[in-house]
Chain A
Amino acid sequence: MSDIVLKTENLTKHYGGVHALQEANFELRKGEHVAIMGDNGAGKSTFVRQITGVEQRTDGKIWFDGKEVNFAGPIEAREAGIETVFQNLALADDLDVPSNLFLGREKVLFNLGPFSILDRKAMRKATEAALVRTAVKIPNLSSTIRHMSGGQRQCVAIARTATFASKLIIMDEPTAALGVQETAQVENIIRTLKENGEPLILVSHNMRQVFDLVDRIVVFRRGRIVANLRKQDTDGNDIVAYITGAKTGQAELQAA
């Protein structure tokens, strides 16, 4: 039990009459990278929103880092150590890289309440360290986000999650809007996170990417988890069968 980072039990979310997520039982162990797959509307993003406190669940329980948790909002989840890279990257366009990495948790030289003097040197150094750790390469740190490509922005968003001692990183389709080369860069970062033993939940539509990167694949269909498979026990056709509903998978779930 101690090496389980995140566990959900019967996690359920109804939007009025729409059962977006039903009785999801999910586990993530230390250092494990898990992909969440499924068709549009299958419940992937709903699942992520319940874990990160963006929405409040209808029913079920969540354990994180050994404790049962009830996050009132995304900030609480972040403070507990869940870092999320959202589809609509939460970056401030007019700030430079260190300012974005430390937004809302700036390092301070002198504490004067809201007028606290920022420790810009320390933030810059920590930023460089985070970029090295995630193997993100951004030639000019003092350039504002506005002047960056989609790939660079995504890298900054990911580097932010790695700047702080996060216990779990969630990425919601991090490469959906990126070109081939930029996608490769983001995938490299994810591999680096894996080497560093940082657990990750990756929501993705990209079959090749998922098989390249993660240890385990969880498939959602119509709000339910229909498959939970180790990568070596499955293949692309198998996963597609679960996604489309050709296979229902209750038997395999019991086995896994």
Chain B
Amino acid sequence: MSQTSHGIGGLSYDAKKRPWPAEFNVFLALVILVAAFELVGRVFLGDSFLFNTRENVSGLFNEQRLQIIILQVSIVGIIAIGVTQVIICGGIDLSSGSIVGATAMIAMSFAQVATVNGNPNPKAMFIDYGWTDLPVIVPLLVAIGCGLIAGLINGLLIAYTRIPPFIATLGMMVTARGIAKWWSKGQPISFPTDSFAAIGKGLMPVVIFISLAILFQLILTYTKYGKHCYAIGSNEDAARMSGIKIANHKVLVYAIAGILASIAAVVLSSKNLTAQAGMGVMYELDAIAMAVIGGVSLSGGRGSIIGTVIGSLIFGVIISGFTFLRLDAYYQEMVKGVIIVGAVVLDQWRQRRRAIGA
């Protein structure tokens, strides 16, 4: 027992032993990573990773690189927001990448133009029905509907048949990918309307990612929904004894994850101006990796959206950094794998040390 005693009966609590938030460690890791690339760049390439070294552009930082870092992770980042709340709630979602594929195909087919350069759009799926040049709200609602349905099925399976989330979402992963391929018999769907194409243009993915991240950080911190996510992930029995309706909550959590995946699908297909059946492959694992690197515990109850956002930035920095050092893209994947495992090992180690300390 510690020397400093505050409570009655010798109960002690040492305020200094309070660990700093996990997000801070993740942020530190990000800073170290950036510093490492900066150092290696200066020493071996004579170029800066972070700062502007060119004469013809102004500004302290290399803004172009910073934009690319966040832009290339923002679409998977949107998925990671949904996955983060699922993991905090003690679950897992493997289906988000396939939901992106299926949703992108279905939504894009409602966002096509009738004529391309004066000729009828060769890729338009519903041109015979006259469903072309529809207002942007139609493909948006179709997309959100797709994500909602897929998420609801995930949630209902997990909450009511009590099968493990891993299995339920694995089933959805395979099924949704099948739907993506079946929808246009494997053909890509292209030529969206200008209004649909505007959604993913330029830095819009970043704006959407950051807005959703802020929204969900607030939801997880300040609402009943968020509190119950942490409670269920932390101790499901305690949550049940406290009168929280576990089944309803889980259905909602997976439904929201599905909707976020469908938003990512809209942004991605809009940015690429096309939808393909293979879109979003492996996105679910990248999203889970971002959350895990960001300090979200796979055993549930711990983590935050801020952590996941920092985790996604670490992802972006690694990809950009390897390009900057002119290293093969193959190395990125190897290093990504090592970092994912390393983050979990570190988390486990931190937890064990804390358990012994308590």
Contact = CB atoms under 8 A, between A and B. Distances in A.
A228 interface: no
B341 interface: no
Nearest to B355: A146
A158 to B, nearest CB: 13
Contact of A91 (B12, B18, B238): B238
Given A143-B13, A182-B9, A117 B242 contact: no
A106 to B, nearest CB: 5
Given A143-B18, A147-B18, A92 B354 contact: no
B50 to A, nearest CB: 35
Interface string A180-197: 011011001000000000
Given A95-B234, A139-B15, A185-B7, A105 B223 contact: no
Given A99-B231, A104-B243, A114 B238 contact: no
B33 interface: no
Contacts of B248: 114
A152 B9 CA distance: 11
A114 B10 CA distance: 41
B239 interface: yes
B329 interface: no
A92 B301 contact: yes
Nearest to A103: B242
Interface string B323-358: 000000000000000000000000000000010001
Contacts of B18: 140, 143, 147
Given A99-B231, A152-B13, A92 B224 contact: no
Interface residues of A, number: 43
Contacts of B6: 137, 139
Contacts of A91: 235, 238
Interface residues of B, number: 38
Contacts of B354: 146-147
A3 to B, nearest CB: 29
A92 B235 contact: yes
Nearest to A92: B234
Nearest to A84: B241
A75 B230 CA distance: 20
B162 interface: no
A140 B13 CA distance: 8
Interface in B1-25: 6-13, 15, 17-19
A148 interface: yes
A188 B9 contact: yes
Given A90-B238, A148-B13, 5 more contacts: A74-B241, A92-B301, A95-B227, A99-B231, A184-B9
Interface of B: 6-13, 15, 17-19, 219, 222-225, 227-228, 230-231, 233-235, 237-239, 241-244, 248-249, 252, 301-302, 354, 358
7 contacts: A93-B234, A94-B302, A118-B222, A137-B11, A139-B15, A146-B358, A148-B358
Interface of A: 74-75, 78-79, 86, 89-95, 99, 103-106, 108, 112, 114-118, 120, 135, 137-140, 143, 146-149, 151-152, 155, 181-182, 184-185, 188
